[in-house]
Amino acid sequence: MLQNLFPPGIQHALDLAGIFVFATAGALLAVRKNFDVFGIAVLALATALGGGLFRDLVIGAVPPAAFGELSFFVTPLIAAALVFFLHPEVQRINRAISVLDAAGLSLFCVTGTTKAYEYGLGLTASAALGVVTGVGGGVLRDVLANEVPSLLRDREMYAVPAIVGAALVAVFIGLDMLGPVTSGFAVASTFVLRLLAMRFHWKAPLAWNRRSAVAEEP
């Protein structure tokens, strides 16, 4: 078995923090869409758990961690409740939430890749599921909210950092170098790349030599 990035207790706390931040982002979108309390809870759960749930079903880790660990299921509901009552205050710290979201993305793409490999997948498939772990919840959130998934219009390079992090983990596994230090490097690289993309508004390229007169939708 591969080593955990952190000791189990710290790892669990970081997982919960990532879930909470993702759930908060989903709940805020539900508020902006004028969803009711049930819709807010559903979007919070989908955003926080969607990627990990898909990964666990693919690799056969059943029951998925989202259902085997009560705290993973309760944490998004707590985030949804806070947003339901305090959404104006939460919205004011949206920039801080974006930074924490980058941290959650970084952690989840690395741990997702590691877990997929532990369940017998090859390096490429493991990296792909690592990316899905990081971005899958956001895709499900956007689909449920009738939005074009941000993954398909990678503004400020959300998916690209996850791909970089998952690929680094796969390379380290292939070189038999994966451990706390190299895993931490993959997390840090993903996190810094995401922050730089946010700071300088980096975007994934559009179609080569695109001449369409139709403006990009907002």
Question: In sequence order, what DSSP letters do the residues of 161-214 get, joined into one string?
Answer: HHHHHHHHHHHHHHTT--SHHHHHHHHHHHHHHHHHHHHHT-----STT---SS
- Asked if residue 65 belongs to a domain, the reply is yes
> What is the reported pTM?
0.87
With vertex at residue 194, the alpha carbon angle to CA 178 and CA 170, rounded to the nearest 5 degrees, is 25
CB 113 within 8 A of CB 51: no
The number of folded domains in the chain is 1
- Asked if residue 135 belongs to a domain, the reply is yes
C-alpha span between 28 and 31 (Å, rounded): 5
CB 164 within 8 A of CB 193: yes
Q: Which domain holds residue 156?
A: 8-200
What spatial distance separates the first Cα and last Cα of the chain, rounded to whole Å? 45
Is the per-residue pLDDT at 206 higher than 70? yes
How sure is the predictor about 2, in pLDDT bands with cuts at 50, 70 and 90? low
- Asked if residue 205 belongs to a domain, the reply is no
Residue of 87 and 56 predicted with greater confidence? 56
How sure is the predictor about 54, in pLDDT bands with cuts at 50, 70 and 90? very high
Buried b / exposed e along 65-84 (16+ C-beta atoms within 10 A): bbeeeeebbebbbbbbebbb
- Asked if residue 153 belongs to a domain, the reply is yes
How sure is the predictor about 6, in pLDDT bands with cuts at 50, 70 and 90? low
Is the per-residue pLDDT at 1 higher than 90? no
